[in-house]
Structure 1
């Protein structure tokens, strides 16, 4: 068996194990125990990498001097995002809601399906699985920008982990 096949099998096995044992609520509890600086860096590197094309095309300029709260309801997790100096910035990561200009609330499986473009954000909105509060224009701009995201730009390991999380 070749090395790439062995590595691929190892990744699949670990992804399956991780997704089975790290439910959204457990992952949120673990992640909020980690230092904010670690979570901030992880979120910023991930988002700025996978959304690089949209950032280059100035698609997130509307977030400059604004804060959008992403509330992952089933994980009881709140992530505050903004845009500064051509980068998405994580302002907070906690189980406490904080002040924001707009809020998007969604459960983990629906958020993953949204990122993988397996579900349409408008459908989730009308099914009341995605709720928007505060500055609705700002929230809709973010929703539409996420909808234009190409999941093929996402690292394969991340797609595999996300896909396993939805299918468990």
Structure 2
């Protein structure tokens, strides 16, 4: 894992909250995320905007939650990749930063430039993934889930900035 070089260290999930997450098999977590994303990204999937992931593995690592998702695109749908499959591209960060990205509370370029979120692997795939994330408007697509993510972001922000 790469080390952060910036002075900002976002709030992290308390360890006690991450323990139950480790009991769920990684492939099951990835399958659930794939189902959610297939619904949320239905227009982009239909338009072929995720074709850059065809038979490639996208790894999303939520470090403080100890979650590791591996997704691939097959026949126009996202699905769980084999756990441990080599990632072609990865996005790594803590829950707080990923929520900032998902809720649009912070600009994706800022999160990646300041290394609060990190892209790894194939540079071209990484740019496609970042640009896709930047272009998606979630409002109206995820309904109450966006409210939950906004509240989770606010809750995590109350933990304050922790220095290492």
Common fold: TM-score over 0.5: yes
Equivalent-residue separation in structure 2 for 1:138 and 1:164 (angstroms): 31
Equivalent-residue separation in structure 2 for 1:29 and 1:136 (angstroms): 33
Equivalent-residue separation in structure 1 for 2:115 and 2:40 (angstroms): 27
The CA deviation at 1:157 is: 2.2
TM-score by length of 1: 0.75
Work out which of the two has the higher radius of gyration on C-alpha atoms and give 1 or 2: 1
Q: Deviations over 1:113-140 (max 9, x none)?
A: 2112221111111111111221111111
Higher-helix-fraction structure: 1
Aligned match for 1:102, one of 89, 107, 111: 89
TM-score by length of 2: 0.77
Equivalent-residue separation in structure 2 for 1:67 and 1:121 (angstroms): 21
Q: 1:75-94 maps to which residues of 2 (within 5 A)?
A: 75-91=65-81
Does structure 2 conserve the Cα–Cα contact (< 8 Å) formed by 1:68 and 1:139?
A: no
Alignment of 1:154 onto 2:141: yes
Structure scoring higher RCO (CA < 8 A, sep ≥ 6) equals 2
Equivalent-residue separation in structure 2 for 1:110 and 1:40 (angstroms): 19
The CA deviation at 1:154 is: 3.3
The CA deviation at 1:62 is: 0.4
Give the RMSD, CA atoms, in angstroms. Answer: 2.2
Does structure 2 conserve the Cα–Cα contact (< 8 Å) formed by 1:24 and 1:108?
A: no
Partner of 1:71: 61
Partner of 1:5: none
Unaligned runs of 5+ in 2: 1-12, 156-164
Partner of 1:137: 124
Unaligned runs of 5+ in 1: 1-22
1:43 is paired with a residue of what secondary structure?
Answer: helix
Farther off after superposition, 154-163 or 57-66: 154-163
Partner of 1:55: 45
